[in-house]
Amino acid sequence: MTEETEQAVPDEERDEDDAYSLQRKDVAAILYAVDIGDREKLVALMEPLHAADIADLLEQINAFDRMRLIKLYGKEFDGDILSELDESIREEVINALHPEVLAEAVRELESDDVVDLLEDLDEAQQEAILEVLDNSDRVAVEKSLTYPEFSAGRLMQREVVMAPEHWNVGEAIDYLRNTEDLPEQFYHIVLVDPKLRPVGNVTLGRLMASRREVLLRSLISETFHVIPVTRDEGEVAYAFNQYHLISAPVVDENERLVGVITIDDAMAVLDEEHEEDILRLAGVGEESRLSDTVLETTKQRFPWLAVNLLTAVLASLVIAQFETAIAQVVALAVLMPIVASMGGNAGTQALTVAVRALATKDLTGSNVWRVIRREVMVGLVNGLVFALVMGLVGLFWFGSAQLGGVIAAAMVINLVVAGLAGIVIPVVLERLKVDPALASGAFVTTVTDVVGFFAFLGLAVLVLL
Amino acid sequence: MTEETEQAVPDEERDEDDAYSLQRKDVAAILYAVDIGDREKLVALMEPLHAADIADLLEQINAFDRMRLIKLYGKEFDGDILSELDESIREEVINALHPEVLAEAVRELESDDVVDLLEDLDEAQQEAILEVLDNSDRVAVEKSLTYPEFSAGRLMQREVVMAPEHWNVGEAIDYLRNTEDLPEQFYHIVLVDPKLRPVGNVTLGRLMASRREVLLRSLISETFHVIPVTRDEGEVAYAFNQYHLISAPVVDENERLVGVITIDDAMAVLDEEHEEDILRLAGVGEESRLSDTVLETTKQRFPWLAVNLLTAVLASLVIAQFETAIAQVVALAVLMPIVASMGGNAGTQALTVAVRALATKDLTGSNVWRVIRREVMVGLVNGLVFALVMGLVGLFWFGSAQLGGVIAAAMVINLVVAGLAGIVIPVVLERLKVDPALASGAFVTTVTDVVGFFAFLGLAVLVLL
C-alpha cells in the first residue's frame, strides 16, 4: 500500500494483511460523487488510486455508473487505465471516451501497451487509435501487429538497450549517460555481436559495481535465454519462471535482436494462462469475466453444459438397459449414483493433477508410464477402502450381502478406471495437440459415468437376479 | 534456450516452440551413463543443464535411479539444484548426499534460499545444515525463520541496497562502486529517511541516465509499494502482479526497512498459489506432486473422496424416499441422474468463476449482489433451454408429456439453485475465513445433488402418480 493511497481511508480502518488499495468505502464515495455530479470531489478521490485499481473499479460497477463516471472524469482519464482494463469492457470504455481524451490517453502509452490495446478492437477502432499516434510509434505498432497473436513478438518491447560485445564498462556507462530516450524500465544491457545477434546480458548492478576498464564480456550473467519472436507467450512465461529470468532478448528468424521481454510482462501472461486453465477445467469459457452480461455468460457456459447433457444421456441409456432389474430391486436405483459420483470425483482428481503437470512440463515421456501405474494403484487402494465402506452400507442399509458385494466390486472397478482415464485422456489429448484442460473433463466423466452404471447394474443382474 | 543447452541435442531435433531444455533423449542418455557408471559422461551431459532442469530430471526419474545418479554425480552437486527441487523429494536427496557435498552445496546459496530449503526439513536436518553455515549467514537464516511461514519475512532477501533520501546521483554511484558485496541481482536503490523508513525507489536505469548532481529524491519511481514483514506471501504476489512492481521494500512493525522482495520470487509464489487453487478445487491435496508415492497420493485424495461419499449417500437417502415411485415408473431412475449431473456441472462453473474472482479480488462487496443476480439469471436462461431439450427427450423417449414436463421443471429449478449455490457458498466461506477453493466444491455438489433428485422425484410424485 503506498503512502498516497493510504490517504483515501484512514489507516485504522484498513486490513493490515490486505495488499489491495481499493476498499468498498472508496467505491461508495466515488459513486456518490458521480451521483451528485461533483467533478472536483471525484478527481480528488481517484487521484491516489493506481491505474490498475481504477480499472478494477470500472469493472466492478455497472455499465450505467461506468458511463457517468467516465463522462464526469473527462480529460483526467489516463492511458494506463485503458491498458489495465479487462478486454471485455475495454471496447465499451473506448467508445465512451471523448475522441480527444482517447487520443491523449493513447499517446501516453508505450508502444507495446498500444499493441496490447489494439489487439482486441475491431478494425474501425484500431484505425481511429493508430491515426492519433506519431508516425514512428504507428510504424512500431503496425510492425508488432504483424507477429502472430500470443507470440513473443506481440509481448516484447521494441526499445532495447544494447552494446557491442567488445565494449568495456566505461564505454557502456558513457553511452547510457548520453542516450536521451532510454526505456522507462530496463535491467540489463544486451551484448550483441556484429551481426546484431545477442550473446549475453549484463545486469546494471554489475555494471555499476565494476571498474571502467573491465570488459562487458567478462560480466555477463550465467542465466541467459534467447527467445524466438514467434514463440508462444505461454512458453515464454514458462521459461521466465523455470529459469528465473528477469529479462530476455527476442530474436527474429536470422537470430538478430529485435526486442526484449521483461519479467513483469511474463508474470502477467503466467497469471492469464493459469486463469485460462482453471476456467477451462471447469468448462467455463476462458474469456469469462465478472463484468460480462447474463447473455454473454450464458453463451460461454452453454457449450459445456450441452456436452454434459450428451454425456448424461449416454449414461441414462446405459441405465435404461437395466430397467427390468431396477424394477425388481429398487435399491439399485438408490445406490447407483454413488458409484458414478465417486468415479467422477476420482477421475477429476487424477485429471487435474495430469493437466497441471502437463502445463508445468513435469509430466513427460520420461515418467508418463510410472505416473499411469501410480494412478491405477491409487485408484485400486482407494477403491478397496471405499468398497469396504459401501459394502457395509449395502449390507446394513438393505440387509443384502450380495448387494453389498456388488456395489463394492463396482466401486473398485470404477475407481481404477477413473484413475486410468484421468491420466491417459489428458496425455493423449496433449499428444494430439488438443488442450487437455479444455476437453479432458467431458471425456473422463463420460467414462466414469458409463463404467460406473454399467459395472454396478451389470454385476447386479449377474449376482442378484 | 541457451546456446549452451543446445549442445545437448542437435538443433534440428528440437521443438522450436518449446522453451524447455530437458528433452526425453537427454534423460535417456543420462540414465544410460548412470547405468554403466560412467561419471565423466554423466558430468558432461549434466553440465549444460540449468539447475532447474536437473531438479526436474531428479523428480522425473524413480527413487532408485535418483540415488544412483546422486552418488555418481558426487561433488558436482550444486546448491541451486537443492533450491529448485520439489519439497517432496528434497529430504530424500539431502539424506542421500555425502555430508561434505551437502555442506559445500549449502554454503553456495544466498541466505533466502537457505531459509526456503530449511523450512520443510525436520529439526535434525535443519541443525545439520545450520552448522555448516558461516556465523553471519547462520544468524541471518535463524532471524528469517522467526517470521511466520508464508510471510513476506520468509520471502525477502535481507541484503538491501539503500541510500539516504538526501543523497544525489553522484554520491549513490560512488557508494555502489565502493561497496564490495552488492547482492547478485538488484534493480532499485531504496531511499530511506533517518529512521530507516523507506520513502521511495530509484531504478538503476534512471540513476545511470542522470547527471551526478541530480537529487535521488527527484528520480523516485511512481510505483512504490511498502510491504509489512508479516504480510502473507500470496498477498505479496498479488500486489506485484496488480501494481507491476519489480521490487518492493519490506518493513518491520516500526516501519523500518528490513529487506526487499523481488519480482522473481513473487512470480514463483504466484505460480504456487495457482497450483494450490487448482488442486484444491479438484479435491487433491495442494502438496500433491508427481513424484509422490502411491501411498502419499492415496492419502491426499482420500479425504475429498470420503466427503464425496457422504454427499453421495445423502443424495441416495433422498432417492430412497421415492422408492415406491421409482418401482412404479422406472423411467424416473433412468432420467434422474441427468438432472443431478447438469446441476453439478452448472454449479461447478459458477463456483470456479467465483473462487477465481475472489482470489484476484475482482469479486468484492461492491459487486457481489450484481454477480449473484447474474448467476441466477444465467441459471434460469440455461435452465430454460435445457428444460426444453429434456422435455422433448422425455416426451419422445418415454412417450409421456407429463414426464417431459417434470424433468423440464426440475432442470430449471436445479440450474437456478446451482448458480445461486455456486456463487453464495464460496462468498460465505471467504467471509468465514475458510479457503473457498478448498471447501466449496463439496457443498455445491451436495446442494445440486439433493435439490436435483428431490425436485425431479418430488415433482414426479405430484404429477405422475
Model pLDDT, residue A15? 47
- The last residue of one of the domains, among B251, B281, B311, is B281
Q: What is the 3-state secondary structure (H, E, C) of chain B?
A: CCCCHHHCCCHHHCCCCCCCCCCHHHHHHHHHHHHCCCHHHHHHHHCCCCHHHHHHHHHHCCHHHHHHHHHHHHHHCCHHHHHHCCHHHHHHHHHHCCHHHHHHHHHCCCHHHHHHHHHCCCHHHHHHHHHHCCHHHHHHHHHHHCCCCCEHHHHCECCCCEEECCCEHHHHHHHHHHCCCCCCCCCEEEEECCCCCEEEEEEHHHHHCCCCCCEHHHHCCCCCCCEECCCEHHHHHHHHHHHCCCEEEEECCCCCEEEEEEHHHHHHHHHHHHHHHHHHHCCCCCCCCCCCCHHHHHHHHHHHHHHHHHHHHHHHHHHHCCHHHHHHCCHHHHHHHHHHHHHHHHHHHHHHHHHHHHHCCCCCCCCHHHHHHHHHHHHHHHHHHHHHHHHHHHHHHHCCHHHHHHHHHHHHHHHHHHHHHHHHHHHHHHHCCCCHHHHHHHHHHHHHHHHHHHHHHHHHHHHHC
- Domain check: are A323 and A261 in the same one? no
A284 vs B353: CB contact, 8 Å cut-off?
Answer: yes
Judged against a pLDDT cut of 50, whether residue B180 lies above it is answered with yes
Average pLDDT over residues A105-113: 83
> Is residue B82 a part of any domain in this protein?
yes
* Number of compact structural domains in chain B: 3
Confidence of residue B20 (pLDDT cuts 50, 70, 90): low
Lowest average pLDDT, out of A83-87, B41-45, B252-256, goes to A83-87
Residue B5 or residue B186, greater confidence: B186
- Domain check: are B134 and B184 in the same one? no
What count of residues does chain B have?
A: 465
Judged against a pLDDT cut of 90, whether residue B137 lies above it is answered with no
- Domain check: are B35 and B104 in the same one? yes
Residue A119 or residue B172, greater confidence: B172
A205 vs B223: CB contact, 8 Å cut-off?
Answer: no
* Three-state secondary-structure class, residue A400: coil
Model pLDDT, residue A18? 57
Model pLDDT, residue A7? 37
Is A241:B240 a contact under the CB 8 Å cutoff? no
In angstroms, rounded to a whole number, what is the distance separating the alpha carbons of residues A316 and A337? Answer: 11
State which H helix or E strand residue A325 sits in.
helix A323-328
Judged against a pLDDT cut of 70, whether residue A277 lies above it is answered with yes
Of A17, A263, A363, the CB nearest to B264: A263
In angstroms, rounded to a whole number, what is the distance separating the alpha carbons of residues B128 and B125? Answer: 5
- Domain check: are A25 and A57 in the same one? yes
Average pLDDT over residues B219-228: 90
> Is residue A28 a part of any domain in this protein?
yes
In angstroms, rounded to a whole number, what is the distance separating the alpha carbons of residues B413 and A388? Answer: 35
Model pLDDT, residue A10? 39
Task: Give which of A449, A451, A424, A425 is closest to A438, Cα–Cα.
Answer: A425
In angstroms, rounded to a whole number, what is the distance separating the alpha carbons of residues A239 and A236? Answer: 5
pLDDT tens digits for range A192-210: 999 999 999 999 988 888 8
A315 vs B50: CB contact, 8 Å cut-off?
Answer: no
Judged against a pLDDT cut of 80, whether residue B147 lies above it is answered with yes
Average pLDDT over residues A241-253: 93
CA torsion sign for A321, A327, A329, A331 is positive
- Domain check: are A298 and A444 in the same one? yes
B223 vs A312: CB contact, 8 Å cut-off?
Answer: no
In angstroms, rounded to a whole number, what is the distance separating the alpha carbons of residues B23 and B21? Answer: 6
Lowest average pLDDT, out of B16-20, B178-182, B355-359, goes to B16-20
The β-bridge partners of B190 are B162, B201
B367 vs A290: CB contact, 8 Å cut-off?
Answer: yes
In angstroms, rounded to a whole number, what is the distance separating the alpha carbons of residues A457 and A444? Answer: 20
> Is residue B157 a part of any domain in this protein?
no
Confidence of residue A393 (pLDDT cuts 50, 70, 90): very high
Full domain range(s) for residue B57: 5-146
How large is the C-alpha radius of gyration of chain B?
29
Average pLDDT over residues B212-223: 91
Interface of A with B in 50-109 (CB under 8 A): 50, 52-53, 56, 59-62
Model pLDDT, residue A6? 36
- Domain check: are B252 and B341 in the same one? no
Task: Return all residues near A313 (Cβ < 8 A) that are at least 6 apart.
Answer: B338, B393
A242 vs B20: CB contact, 8 Å cut-off?
Answer: yes
The CATH number that applies at residue A321 is 1.10.357.20
- Domain check: are B135 and B229 in the same one? no
Q: Which grid cell sits at A242?
A: 523455470
Judged against a pLDDT cut of 80, whether residue A1 lies above it is answered with no
Percent of chain B with pLDDT over 70: 95
- Residue located via cell numbers 499517446: A107
Of A176, A209, A264, the CB nearest to B246: A264
- How confident is the prediction for chain B on average, in pLDDT? 89
Model pLDDT, residue A4? 37
- Domain check: are A303 and A442 in the same one? yes
The type of residue at A425 is: I
In angstroms, rounded to a whole number, what is the distance separating the alpha carbons of residues B139 and B145? Answer: 10
Judged against a pLDDT cut of 60, whether residue A56 lies above it is answered with yes
Model pLDDT, residue A19? 57
pLDDT tens digits for range A60-69: 898 899 999 9
Model pLDDT, residue B291? 81
> Is residue A167 a part of any domain in this protein?
yes
Phi, psi of A430 (to 5 degrees): -60, -45
Confidence of residue B337 (pLDDT cuts 50, 70, 90): very high
Judged against a pLDDT cut of 50, whether residue B14 lies above it is answered with no
Average pLDDT over residues A164-181: 90
pLDDT tens digits for range B150-167: 999 999 988 899 999 999
Phi, psi of A42 (to 5 degrees): -60, -50
Of A231, A278, A336, the CB nearest to B17: A231
- Domain check: are B131 and B180 in the same one? no
Confidence of residue A17 (pLDDT cuts 50, 70, 90): very low
Most distant pair of Cα atoms in chain A: their distance: 94
Model pLDDT, residue B5? 37
Model pLDDT, residue B391? 95
- Which residues in chain A touch residue B390, judged by CB atoms under 8 angstroms apart? 309
Lowest average pLDDT, out of A76-90, A112-126, B60-74, B365-379, goes to A112-126
In angstroms, rounded to a whole number, what is the distance separating the alpha carbons of residues B156 and B166? Answer: 26
pLDDT tens digits for range B264-279: 999 999 999 998 889 9
Q: Which grid cell sits at B108?
A: 553456495
Confidence of residue A126 (pLDDT cuts 50, 70, 90): confident
Strands (E), A254-364: 257-262
- Domain check: are A213 and A327 in the same one? no
Q: How many CB atoms lie within 10 A of CB B308?
A: 25
B305 vs A382: CB contact, 8 Å cut-off?
Answer: yes
b/e sequence A167-186, b meaning 16+ C-beta within 10 Å:
bbbebbbebbeeeeeeeebb
Compute the nearest-CA separation of A244 from chain B (Å).
6
pLDDT tens digits for range B230-241: 999 999 999 999
B209 vs A182: CB contact, 8 Å cut-off?
Answer: yes
In angstroms, rounded to a whole number, what is the distance separating the alpha carbons of residues A365 and B23? Answer: 9
Judged against a pLDDT cut of 80, whether residue A452 lies above it is answered with yes
Confidence of residue A266 (pLDDT cuts 50, 70, 90): very high
Give the relative orientation of helices A436-464 and A401-431 as an angle to the nearest 10 degrees.
160
Model pLDDT, residue B2? 36
The CATH number that applies at residue A13 is 1.25.60.10
B163 touches chain A (CB under 8 A): no
Residue A435 or residue B416, greater confidence: B416
- Which residues in chain B touch residue A59, judged by CB atoms under 8 angstroms apart? 362
- Domain check: are B171 and B138 in the same one? no
B176 vs A208: CB contact, 8 Å cut-off?
Answer: yes
> Is residue A433 a part of any domain in this protein?
yes
Confidence of residue A13 (pLDDT cuts 50, 70, 90): very low
- Which residues in chain B touch residue A208, judged by CB atoms under 8 angstroms apart? 173, 176-177, 204, 207-208
> Is residue A119 a part of any domain in this protein?
yes
Confidence of residue A143 (pLDDT cuts 50, 70, 90): confident
- Which residues in chain A touch residue B177, judged by CB atoms under 8 angstroms apart? 208-209, 211
B226 touches chain A (CB under 8 A): yes
Phi, psi of A50 (to 5 degrees): -70, 150
Q: Which grid cell sits at B286?
A: 495442494
- Residue located via cell numbers 493511497: A5
A290 vs B17: CB contact, 8 Å cut-off?
Answer: no
Average pLDDT over residues A108-119: 83
- Residue located via cell numbers 484505425: A127
Compute the nearest-CA separation of A389 from chain B (Å).
10
B363 touches chain A (CB under 8 A): yes
Interface of B with A in 387-446 (CB under 8 A): 389-390, 393
Q: How many CB atoms lie within 10 A of CB A6?
A: 14
- The last residue of one of the domains, among A146, A171, A188, is A146
Q: Quote the DSSP letter at residue A48.
A: T
Geometric angle at alpha carbon A426, from A423 and A430, rounded to 5°: 135
B366 vs A60: CB contact, 8 Å cut-off?
Answer: yes
A204 touches chain B (CB under 8 A): yes
The CATH number that applies at residue A238 is 3.10.580.10
Give the relative orientation of helices A263-281 and B263-281 as an angle to the nearest 10 degrees.
0
Judged against a pLDDT cut of 80, whether residue A377 lies above it is answered with yes
Q: Which grid cell sits at B386?
A: 435445457
> Is residue A153 a part of any domain in this protein?
no
- Domain check: are A263 and A402 in the same one? no
Confidence of residue A271 (pLDDT cuts 50, 70, 90): very high
> Is residue B302 a part of any domain in this protein?
yes
